[in-house]
Amino acid sequence: MIQTVVSMALPVDEHLQIKKQRLEPFAPTGKEKRISVVTGTHGDELEGQFVCYELLRRLKEGQEHLKGIVDVYPALNPLGIDSITRGIPMFDLDMNRVFPGDSEGPMVESMTKELVEDLEGSDLCIDIHASNIFLKEMPQVRINEITAEKLVPLAENLNIDMIWVHASATVLESTLAYSLNSIGVPTLVVEMGVGMRITDAYGHQLVEGILHLMKTQGMWDGPVKEPKKPIVSYDNEVGYINADASGIYLPETNIGDFVKEGDTIGYVVDPLTGEINETAKAPIDGLVFTRREYPVVYSGSLLGRVLGGVEQ
């Protein structure tokens, strides 16, 4: 059942509408748990679009196995998705910096408040993000250390490669995940892939994980695959590789590669002179979990990240 969660008037007789698809068991008891899957907060992050499609397809195909309520919100920022804009067009706002919103505030704050109210009461929420157009991220869940005790065991069932527990000082209180966790809705933030693209393999991987997580919560009794055992990073050293020279970046490593300190991870080349301006080296031993995808770089551009303290 498709429901309109938010509807607001726009100029020139148009409306902003945020919709969700709700799936329920064939014979609901009224005691079902509810999971919400949200994405599209940033209009240039499209990895979640495939996840929504594939998850709904799988659930409809085996709806006799559904024992919980599933709410899927594919586009929290429909204007951003329509215009390929990270923030909310016209307002020049990052939507994930406006939560939990205010019903008496301006339009965007009123909109985010309605979204939070609709999501309130969920037993679990998966908040799916992609990286930007510059970087590709290994499928991972990012968790505030304040909520780690509760959320890490849930994230371990999600079939992702890595769980990155952040210090609370680095977490913004104006995000959807922080707002939902603050009102008792356990929310896992998934980061994967690259901006403006869809990585099919990552999408299938996460859908398998969502189904497995639902099974552990009694929301699904259909077949599931055994999830990957993720690397859990609490205080592991993270090595950042930044360009020292400008040019075109040609990576030599892939997401998931293990490198040693001093290994070549890529080259910054000059297409005018035919010379290598810089040979980028791994700063530590570890796992490559972020890789530069957009080739034009300048001094200071992030080329990649390596997670230390991880054995092959």
Question: What is the pLDDT at residue 217?
Answer: 98
Q: Which helix (H) or strand (E) element contains residue 117?
A: helix 107-119
Angle at 203 between CA 197 and CA 205, to 5 degrees: 145
Give the pLDDT of residue 170. 65
The predicted structure's pLDDT at residue 14: 83
Buried b (16+ CB within 10 A) or exposed e, 136-165: bbbbbbbbbbbbbeebbebbbbbbbbbbbb
Digitized pLDDT (tens) for each residue of the chain, 312 residues in all: 999 999 998 887 788 999 999 999 999 999 999 999 999 999 999 999 999 999 999 999 999 999 999 999 999 999 999 998 999 988 889 999 999 999 999 999 999 999 999 999 999 999 999 999 999 999 999 999 999 999 999 999 999 999 999 887 666 889 999 999 999 999 999 999 999 999 999 999 999 999 999 999 999 999 999 999 999 998 788 999 999 999 999 999 999 999 999 999 999 999 999 999 999 999 999 999 999 999 999 999 999 999 998 877
Q: What angle do CA 229, 231, 233 make, to 5 degrees?
A: 150
Which residue type, as a one-letter code, is found at position 4? Answer: T
- For residue 304, list its beta bridge partners: 241, 291
What pLDDT sits at residue 252?
98
Q: Helix or strand or coil: residue 15? A: strand
